[in-house]
Amino acid sequence: MRIDIISVAPNLLESPFNHSIIKRAQDKGLAEIVIHDLRKFGLGNYKQIDDTQFGGGAGMVLMIEPISNCIKQLLVERNYDEVIYMTPDAKTLNQSTANTLSLKENILILTGHYKGVDQRIRDKYITKEISIGDYVLTGGELAAAVLVDAVVRLIPGVIGDEQSALTDSFQDNLLSPPVYTRPAEFEGMKVPDVLLSGNFPKIDDWRSNQAYKRTQQIRPDLLKDE
């Protein structure tokens, strides 16, 4: 999968993609992540990328020309299955969206800053808008990093143990059951007997029950979505 990201703060995106599983996915050739500095497409000597809003009001807006020029240049090289704009005023990212996106070949992500981007960019180029939650970040970079992490780890071969991604929280709209590892007893706290029983159908049952209970307690809204 190829992921292009347009950003006014490309440095913010370096660290999340250069470590651990996402780095390994790139090293293995399973994901190619390329970051484009919007400033390079800025206008005039000052490389201007933002301006005040028409109609007045606080906050700067990312201008249409730099973004349009950047997207047009990228479109010369390849077509995108989705052109995504990271913004708090959109539907919230969930596992189902991550699953769908992990099957795509080319994705372009535009990250906003300040008051956002000129609406005409959204109207013309954006095919999907994604928020990572009902709060406002200083820019879309960290949101894009969250999206890319959630998507790339689902690409087959990225996580060694395939089962591990499939049994995550949310894959079946349920939170994960509790997990334990050695020692079987620590300061009087014991691992539930069933997990030590070797009876795998019983263990599966217990895990399903626990997942359901946890979801009911912490995120009952997930059960209503079904």
Residue 123 is labelled as binding a ligand = no
Residue 112 is labelled as binding a ligand = yes
User: Is the preceding omega at residue 220 within 30 degrees of 0, hence cis?
Assistant: no
Residue 137 CB, nearest approach to ligand ADE (Å): 4
In the complex, which residue's CB is closest to ligand ADE?
143
Task: Report residue 158 as tokens.
Answer: 């990225």
Residue 134 is labelled as binding a ligand = yes
Contact 57, 25 (CB under 8 A): no
Residue 136 is labelled as binding a ligand = yes
Give me the residues that bind ligand ADE (CB under 6 A), please. 86-88, 112, 131-133, 135-137, 140, 143
Residue with tokens 């596992």: 95
Nearest to 173 by CA among 122, 211, 134: 211
Of 21 and 136, which CB lies nearer to ligand ADE in the complex structure? 136
Residue 137 is labelled as binding a ligand = yes
Of 132 and 211, which CB lies nearer to ligand ADE in the complex structure? 132
Residue 69 CB, nearest approach to ligand ADE (Å): 22
Residue 182 CB, nearest approach to ligand ADE (Å): 39
Cα–Cα distance measured from residue 56 to residue 41, given in angstroms and rounded to the nearest whole number: 25
Residue with tokens 């790139």: 26
Contact 113, 144 (CB under 8 A): no
DSSP reduced 3-state for 71: helix
Are β-strands 185-186 and 60-62 bridged in parallel, bridged antiparallel, or unpaired? unpaired
Of 145 and 211, which CB lies nearer to ligand ADE in the complex structure? 145
Of 5 and 159, which CB lies nearer to ligand ADE in the complex structure? 5
Q: What are phi and psi of 110, to 5 degrees?
A: -105, 130
DSSP reduced 3-state for 67: helix
Of 22 and 109, which CB lies nearer to ligand ADE in the complex structure? 109
Residue 156 CB, nearest approach to ligand ADE (Å): 27
Q: Which residues are annotated as a binding site for S-adenosyl-L-methionine?
A: 112, 132-137
